[in-house]
Structures are given as C-alpha cells and as structure tokens.
C-alpha cells in the first residue's frame, strides 16, 4: 500500500513537471486500488482485534497508519487532477480521471 502511494506521488509530480495529462490520469485511476487496500487492511485488523483484545492498541495504530497512507494517495490524486486541469482545462474531480460526458 505504501509503495503504491509512493508511486502515485512520484507519478503526480512527474506529470506536473512534464505536463503529461495521460500520466496524471493514470495516477487518478490508481487511487481506487489504494482505497481497496485500506478496506482490506481494516477488515483484517478488525478480525485480529476481535480474536485477541490485547491486540486492539496495536491494531488501532496500524489502522491509523494505513489511513494516513491512503490520505497521501488522495493528495497525489488531487495533484494529478489539478495537473489535468492545468493542461487540458477539464475538471476531472470525482470522476476517477475519466473524461466527463
């Protein structure tokens, strides 16, 4: 998950520097996979915490770390959306990087 978020940040910054809207849209599309990983991690941690109440403190800290990494990916997506707007003049927020009809 962290590697995907790191790749997204790098991709968003590279898209900005090179003015590449296709690369920016690729970053936007990658956000869904990070969101899915967050959900998976949350479910797994919840299972461990239910099975072993002594693991609740550790599970909560790991859950927070996963959420923070997901927010980093969200910020990379926001940068990529702004890069697309800067290059194409098209607002793609809340579309997952897909063109609006």
Report the CATH number at residue 27.
1.20.58.220
Residues 43-85: pLDDT tens digits?
999 999 999 999 999 999 999 999 999 999 999 999 999 999 9
Decide if 99 is inside a domain. no
pLDDT surpasses 70 at 97: no
- Domain that includes residue 14, residue range: 2-88
Decide if 61 is inside a domain. yes
Decide if 58 is inside a domain. yes
- Token pair listed for 97: 């990087």
Supply the pLDDT for residue 85: 96
CA distance 25 to 96: 8
CA distance 26 to 30: 6
CA distance 97 to 31: 10
CA distance 84 to 79: 9
**Distances from the Cα of 58 to the Cαs of 7, 40, 82, in angstroms?**
27, 17, 37
Decide if 100 is inside a domain. no
Decide if 98 is inside a domain. no
Number of domains within the chain: 1
Decide if 55 is inside a domain. yes
Is 8:26 a contact under the CB 8 Å cutoff?
A: no
Decide if 66 is inside a domain. yes
Residues 3-28: pLDDT tens digits?
999 999 999 999 999 999 999 999 99
């Amino acid at each position: 998950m962290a590697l995907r978020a790191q790749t997204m940040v790098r991709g968003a910054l590279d898209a900005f520097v090179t003015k590449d809207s296709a690369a920016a849209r690729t970053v936007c599309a990658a956000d869904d996979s990070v969101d899915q990983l967050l959900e998976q991690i949350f479910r797994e941690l919840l299972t461990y915490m239910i099975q072993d109440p002594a693991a609740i403190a550790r599970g909560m800290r790991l859950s927070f770390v996963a959420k923070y990494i997901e927010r980093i990916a969200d910020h990379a997506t926001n940068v990529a959306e702004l890069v697309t707007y800067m290059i194409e003049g098209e607002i793609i927020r809340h579309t997952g990087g897909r063109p609006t009809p």
